[in-house]
Chains A and B, each alone.
Chain A
Amino acid sequence: MASRVLLQCVRSLGRPSLRLSSANLAVRAAAAPAAAHRPLSFAADSRRPRWLGRSPIPSVGVLCRQYGDLPPLTLETIKDRVMYVLKLYDKINPEKVKLQTSSHFMKDLGLDSLDQVEIIMAMEDEFGFEIPDAEAEKLMSPAEIVQYIADKKDVYE
């Protein structure tokens, strides 16, 4: 029972390597159909020492696909990126006013609506997605921006 399970595991891992390696016709014919249990298990048996002799990593690498993607977003990373973009903004003077997530653009930081538009555009650039006008004009503090982006990108904590 355990040996049959082990053989199945080896067969599933060993099948691509069987195809890759210059196998004879019998083994190839055995490797192609999925239902050929017995000849394949014997082939896997006979091939197994040789297969284990080589590094098993390439054969597993053939099985799994690799996709490129950005690292997953968390509330922390969103907050850090939002604060970083705001720090780069030249209208906000860091010495005069302390920048916190709860600081209101207009009331605390003394910015006006044109600056707020620029800030939202910078956020669009940073996170790579469009923020429609109707919702953009309501975002008046970094905390609200973080909340909005988290809602849009389905980031839960």
Chain B
Amino acid sequence: MTISRLPTAALSLKQFLQRQRILGIYRNMLKTIRQVPSEGDRKYLRDWARDEFKRNKSATNPDAIRMMVSQANNHLEELQKSLALARS
């Protein structure tokens, strides 16, 4: 379990780092979503991000986790690129 609800079981170092990384991605995503111009889009994206992260919260397979992390990174990059395009 990477994002555990309560820190009951001690996480191994790799799991701990992964957890921090995922929280960092979530943070960056929320910060990027803040820059979206329209309020309705912002709300939709925030709910989407929240659902995605919560849905996969209890995944245990490390390969699946890594795949989801890279997927999240791709989404984030896409969002940032389209925002940069929209701004220019």
A residues apposed to B, CB below 8 Å: 106-107, 112-114, 117-118, 121, 125, 133, 136-137
Q: Is the CB of B50 within 8 A of A114?
A: yes
Q: Is the CB of A112 within 8 A of B3?
A: yes
Min C-beta distance of A134 to chain B, whole Å = 9
Docked pose: A114 CA to B20 CA in angstroms: 11
The reply to whether the CB of B23 lies closer than 8 angstroms to some CB of chain A is yes
Find A114's partner among B6, B23, B31 (CB 8 Å cutoff). Answer: B23
Q: Is the CB of A117 within 8 A of B6?
A: no
Q: Is the CB of B27 within 8 A of A112?
A: no
Q: Is the CB of B3 within 8 A of A118?
A: no
B residues apposed to A, CB below 8 Å: 3, 5-6, 19-20, 23-24, 26-27, 30-31, 34, 50, 53-54, 57
Docked pose: A106 CA to B34 CA in angstroms: 25
Q: What A residues does B3 contact at CB under 8 A?
A: 112-114
Q: Is the CB of A121 within 8 A of B27?
A: yes
Q: Is the CB of B30 within 8 A of A118?
A: yes
Contacts A106-B5, A112-B3 given: A117-B26 contact, CB under 8 Å? Answer: yes
Q: What A residues does B27 contact at CB under 8 A?
A: 117, 121, 133, 136
